[in-house]
Amino acid sequence: MEGDMRTREPLPDPKEEEEEEQQPAQPPLLPSSLIIYLYVGHFLARWGARMWEFSVGLYMINIWPNSLLLAAVYGVVESASTAFLGPSIGQWLDRLTYVKVLQLWLWTQNLSFVVAGAAVVGLLFFSSLKHTNLAAFITIVALTNISGAVGVLSTLAGSILIEREWVVVMSEGHPPDVLTRMNSVLRRIDLTCKLFAPVVTGFIISFVSLKASAMTLAIWNTVSVWLQYWLLMSVYNGIPALRESNQKRTSKIAERSAGESTSACQGVNSSPLADNSWKRKMIKCVWKVLCISAWNVYLRQDVVLSGVALALLYFTVLSFGTLMTVALQWEGIPAYVIGIARGISAAIGIAATFVYPILQSHISTLRTGLWSIWSQVSISVV
């Protein structure tokens, strides 16, 4: 009787056991220490870029006072390089491994800003160079413009690597809010650098000197590159998903290289006269440099009109870019005041990184984007 009155435990359902066995294993939790390494490395890289972004206009207006020519020329060089060479950066990233991209990004960005800072120091120390040796003056200004543009392109490559590649790979298999949270933190770090870097640089320029600001920029990039490399390599070595994704990239790169070499050999054998034509080679070179095929792919996307509309929304002078910073300095506003004003605008952007995850979880991504865009349009009109 006692045995009958005992509650018998239900037998396990074989179907449930099979379903549990078929379920994919959950990826391990991301180590918090490596996440912090990622954030710190991103902060160090963005701080140097934001210092240069704010101070370059002030350097140019002081090198050639009472004229916006040098600042305008630098703005054209930087914007043109980003517009025409930006698509090739993405293609370049697809053809290299994570480690190679990381190395080229960090060394190119920091070396470019070091060279630009050293060139600015030289121009500030030898302020009469434009009167005594115009050719040397133009050469150093051109070196500054090219170094700054290369640094901006390298920063773009780093942003793509971290924000579009690593974060996506690291969050695969995790809940969607993991990717949203990491993107929000990275964006918050960028805006924090945009908030404080101009303030610090503005105080150095106003209360020390422009030369000290340029030397600080060069020293910062010289010292921080080593720490950046160690931090981000620690993240790469500590996250198995990144190494697995890198192995897949390596195999794809090898397959693509083999296919390109085969097609090139076939083309040489089939039409040697056409390939030897210098006009054809020049057209191919221009086609690759300007990434015409990438632009054609973009124009065939469903979101092309939305992208153009968003770009037109930013087609305004109501932003603290290089020209606006120079114009304010030209009007006699101190550099630290300009830096504080830029910091206030960045603080509003930082607040958006806290608001976005809340709105996205309550009203969906689509409505959040629509409300944000229309709010920006309304405020710009006002």
Where do we find the tokens 């996440």?
35
Domain count, the chain: 1
pLDDT of 272: 46
Show pLDDT as tens, one digit a residue, over the chain (382 residues): 444 444 454 555 555 544 444 445 556 677 888 999 999 999 999 999 999 988 888 888 888 887 788 888 898 898 888 887 877 787 788 888 888 999 999 999 999 999 999 999 999 888 888 888 889 999 999 999 999 999 999 999 999 899 888 998 888 887 878 888 888 899 889 888 888 888 888 889 888 888 999 999 999 999 999 999 999 999 999 988 888 888 887 777 777 666 555 554 454 444 444 445 676 766 666 666 666 667 777 788 888 888 888 777 777 766 667 777 777 877 788 888 888 887 787 788 778 778 877 887 888 877 887 888 788 778 777 6
Give the amino acid at 286: V
Whether residue 139 is contained in a domain is answered as yes
Residue 25 lies in a domain: no
Q: What would the two tokens of residue 172 be?
A: 């695969």
Q: Which residue has the tokens 């018998």?
A: 8
The one-letter code for the residue type at 306 is S
The model's pTM is 0.75
Q: Note whether residue 277 is domain-resident.
A: no
Task: Give pLDDT, residue 115.
Answer: 94
Residue 49: predicted pLDDT: 92
User: How far, in Å, CA of 224 to CA of 48, rounded?
Assistant: 9
* Residue-wise pLDDT tens digits, 199-227: 888 889 888 888 999 999 999 999 999 99
* Residue 344 covered by a domain: yes
Domain interval for residue 198: 32-252+284-381
Residue 89 is predicted with a pLDDT of 82
Residue pLDDT, tens place only, 240-286: 888 888 888 777 777 766 655 555 445 444 444 444 567 676 666 66
Residue at 63 is within a domain: yes
The pLDDT value given to residue 369: 79
Please report the pLDDT score of residue 27 as a whole number.
64
Is 138 within the bounds of a domain? yes
Phi first, then psi: give them for residue 141, nearest 5 degrees: -65, -40
* Distance in angstroms (rounded) separating the CA atoms of residues 373 and 356: 13
Does a structural domain hold residue 259? Answer: no
CA distances from 235 to 29, 150, 215, 231 (A): 14, 26, 30, 6
Whether residue 336 is contained in a domain is answered as yes
